[in-house]
Chains A and B, each alone.
Chain A
Amino acid sequence: MEILMAFVIGILFMTATYLMLSRSLLRIIIGTGLLSHGAHLLILTMGGLKRGAAPILRDEIDTYTDPLPQALILTAIVISFGVTAFFLVLAYRSYKELGTDNVEEMRGTKPND
């Protein structure tokens, strides 16, 4: 399973990279979303998959899956959500101000302007 997951994560990173290299702001943000999915799954996979029960203590069970990666991922999900939300509003605002969502056209101002 871990080997299969490695390929899934690779596909997620590949599509995310391709989207981030595009010129449309919306596609770039979608790309970052895919990238964070890939990263979260990577953390989980590296912790080892399906070895034992869910990490909630019960009397009759003594092997659990590793709780630490899950805690890390939970933190990461929340942070990436905050950043994505911020980024989305930024894209919305910049489209309102600049009138374009093409990043190639966002060149700032010339030094002498």
Chain B
Amino acid sequence: MSYLHLAIVSPLLFAIFIPFFHNGFRRVHTGWFALPLPILLFIYFLSFLPETMSQKTVMASLEWIPSLGMNFTAKVDGLGLLFALLISGIGALVILYSIYYLAKDKERLNHFYVYLLLFMGAMLGVVLSDNLIVMYAFWELTSFSSFLLIGYWYERERSRYGAQKSMLITVFGGLAMLGGIILLYVMTGTFSMTEIILSANQIFNHALFIPALLCILLGAFTKSAQFPFYIWLPDAMEAPTPVSAYLHSATMVKAGIYLVARFTPVFGESSVWFLLVGGVGLLTLIWGSFFAVKQTDLKAILAFSTVSQLGLIMSLLGVGAAALHFEALDDNIFTIAIMAAIFHLINHATFKGSLFMAAGIVDHETGTRDIRNLGGLIHLMPITFTVSLIGAFSMAGIPPFNGFLSKEMFFTAMIQVTEMNIFNLETWGILFPVLAWIASIFTFVYSMIFIFKTFTGKFQPEKLAKKPHEAPIGMLISPLILVSLVIIFGFFPNLLSNSLIAPAMAAILPNLLGAGDEFDVHIYFWHGPNLELLMTLGVMVLGYILFKTYPKWGNIYKRIPEGLSLNRLYDGLLKGSQTGSNKLMNRYMTGSIRSYLLYIFGFFIILLLGVLLRENAFKVDTSNVSDIGIYELVLVLFIAVGSISILFVKSRMTSIILLGSVGYTVSLFYVLFRAPDLALTQLVIETISVSLFLLCFYHLPKLRKLETRMRFRLTNAVISIGVGAVVTVIALSAHSNKLFDSISQYYVENTYVEAAGKNMVNVILVDFRGFDTLFEITVLAIASLGIFGMIKLKNRGKEG
């Protein structure tokens, strides 16, 4: 176990001690105990920077189940390190923020920090595991801990609903991803990501390639809230705000992004991948930004904005995968999409984290998050306003913040799509920049709504639950750090380029790099007047006009019928599957023995007849049969008439006598077929059985005709004739297909020699196959004990 493994699981181990800290030091906020760990982890992960910057990968392996190829292999490359830094860095800031956000004496802090650390460890495991099964285990742990965090206030119904929804959707995707991993294993024979990438070329034409691709993408899309699986994210906003800031903006929702980036070298060359990742990303981008404008809850705006921005990153990854089609690195300008994706990933984590924290402060200080009740907070909360302003402007893509740079690069990448001469992009590729541009306009509008509806306009103190004032300084530290990063990355983007972006690009596009090559990442703040700048100007102008005229055109949202929403579909599916399975169950589980017997007999008939017909096995062979004597014919008539007339008699006495007569006829058959022992036993047993029937007869009521309805009798008749026919057919075919001789010759020869008996049947019963007899005696003993018990228990019950 290396330090790296210890670092990955340290949050999980540390979580064990949180309840002890919580109970042992009641006067100290539990968050202070949790805080040092992510800071230490952040510093530890920073120490890997020199390694990844020189294109090295740190691997450490720990055996887990080596016989199945499942080992906990930790791998630190550019992409994993970038995520690890985000997770630990923002994790530290979020814990600091939560210390001031959650009250010490009102909240179950031990639960909160245990869940949060559980999540942090799981997330680190996802991004730093090289073995896909281990990665999947951590992946499900993130779903699970996210479920716990969303349902943190479990006494609220909305929290439980949101937690269940996110659990169902992400676990659905997670299981699909597991399927994809197994398919990859089938194709490559390894669970190791590194080795799968090495054999990417071989599996490209494999029949399972597309199914594996779809399964993996399903996992990524559900986790990263892509269309149409984004619906869990707005409902996950019931979680405490630090959780929303951490999980639902910066880390967990990017696990799907990570997955797509990680699998780009494997699947990227497929056109399906380009279409799905690029197309779904773009659709999510425009859908999320369009519906974000409609929201009135601050966190709902941010949730839809997150959906939209994740779509943006996803579409960039899709477009970037197309770069794999262009070999030479020197003139491969298409890699800019990947660069933009990574850059925006970092930027989004910074500004969205700060915006969530700002929304949490507003909620905390005013008691509401509804923008219809808010307004005019600019003078009361100037620092929060500044934080929100910078965050929102960066989100809208306004210079000089980092969002502007990544948005410009986004436009560049989208424009380049039209220049790619693959997949017919030269014709319909124009959709990419156009849709991206429209989505950016909506992004601008909701960013402005977020900031100006909250902080400017009329102050409405009567609608607020609390008297608002500026937040405590501790609560402001984390958002301030994040917005300063927004500004720093805005002005000095190249701080990131060689340290984080280039190594991450090398991890996503390993095949484009020759030995010793490096991606030349240089982000220009000003790149001259070009189309992208014009598009940004257009976004700002049009966005401003739309924002100002929002009351006029906002009505179009009301025109969209509520019934068409995806939430309605999800709820309907959930409810429908419940009532549907309930109905189905009630339909065939009637509780009546007759219907179950009908199923069993019906299935018996269909299965056996079907097999007989399919195998063409029916055969009658008369060469092997014995002759029919007159006695046998009489007995056959007796049995047939006797058993059939039982069906029609109305008196129970007659039916018992008929049953007895059938039994005695059977024993006569045994006489004719030379089975003296059988005849003897059958006679005795039949006599006892009939007496038993007569005993019960005394106590049972008269046989009534219970089958009054014709339909019942008809079904019964059809089924019973079917059973009889199948048995006859099988008996005939079985008799006509003798495959080998009987083993009985051995018994005939050895009965006297080995066992010193002359009655072969008896010798077989007590000597050759004595075990059968032993347990048949046991059966009789148990039956008699059971009968004795049933009768005795009755008496005791009456006495008691």
B748 cross-chain contacts in A, Cβ below 8 A: 55, 57, 64, 67
- Among B598, B652, B716, B734, point to the contact of A26 (Cβ < 8 A): B652
Q: Does B693 contact A (CB under 8 A)?
A: yes
In the complex, the answer to whether B646 meets A30 with C-beta atoms within 8 Å is yes
Asked whether any CB of chain A lies closer than 8 Å to the CB of B35, the reply is no
A52-103 contacts to B, CB under 8 A, are: 52-58, 64-68, 70-71, 73-75, 77-79, 81-86, 88-93, 95-96, 101-103
Contacts of A88 in B (CB 8 A): 692-693, 695-696
Instruction: Give chain B's interface secondary structure class.
Output: helix
Do A82 and B780 touch across chains, with their CB atoms under 8 A apart?
yes
B573 lies within 8 A of chain A by Cβ: no
Q: State how many angstroms separate the Cβ of A68 from the closest Cβ of chain B.
A: 5
Q: Which residues of A sit under 8 angstroms from B591, Cβ to Cβ?
A: 107-108
Q: Indicate if the CB atoms of B699 and A96 lie closer than 8 Å.
A: yes
The smallest C-beta distance from B277 to any residue of chain A, in angstroms, reads: 49
Task: Tell me whether A113 is interfacial, beta carbon within 8 Å.
Answer: no
Binds A, one of B203-211, B267-275, B549-557, B769-777: B769-777
CA distance A17 to B716 in the complex (A): 8
How many residues on the A side are at the interface (Cβ–Cβ under 8 A)? 84
Give Cα distance in the complex from A19 to B620, angstroms: 29
The segment from B22-30, B74-82, B170-178, B632-640 that touches chain A is B632-640
Cα separation A90 to B779 with both chains bound (whole Å): 16
Given A4-B632, A37-B663, the answer on whether A89 and B723 have CB atoms closer than 8 Å is no
Total A-B residue contacts, Cβ distance less than 8 Å: 275
Cβ–Cβ contact A30 & B676, under 8 A: no
Verify B674–A54 contact, CB threshold 8 A. yes
Inter-chain CA distance A96–B798, complex, in Å, is 12
Total contacting residues, chain B, CB less than 8 A: 98
Task: Verify A8–B732 contact, CB threshold 8 A.
Answer: no
Shortest C-beta distance, B239 to chain A (Å), equals 36
Chain B residues with CB under 8 Å of A12's CB are 639, 643, 662, 724
Chain A residues near B564 (CB-CB < 8 A): none
Residues of A within 8 A of B735 (CB): 2-3, 6, 45-46
Give Cα A24 to B598, complex, Å: 16
Q: Which residues of A contact B672 (CB under 8 A)?
A: 50
Q: What separation, in Å, do the CA atoms of A65 and B670 have in the docked complex?
A: 12
A50:B674 contact, CB within 8 angstroms? yes
The answer to whether A24 and B706 have CB atoms under 8 Å apart is yes
Contact of B719 among A21, A23, A78, A90 (CB under 8 A): A21
Distance of A68 Cα from B670 Cα, bound (Å):
14
Give every chain B residue within 8 A of A57 (Cβ-Cβ): 748, 751-752, 758-760
Q: Measured between alpha carbons, how far is A48 from B782 in the docked complex, in Å?
A: 34
Contact A27 B655 (CB under 8 A): yes
Chain B 715-753, CB within 8 Å of chain A: the 1/0 string? 011011101110110011011000000111001100110
A64-B760, A73-B678 are known contacts; what are 5 more A-B pairs with Cβ within 8 Å?
A14-B723, A26-B697, A27-B703, A40-B666, A84-B692
Minimum-distance CB pairs A-B, first 5 = A14-B724, A10-B728, A82-B783, A17-B720, A67-B760
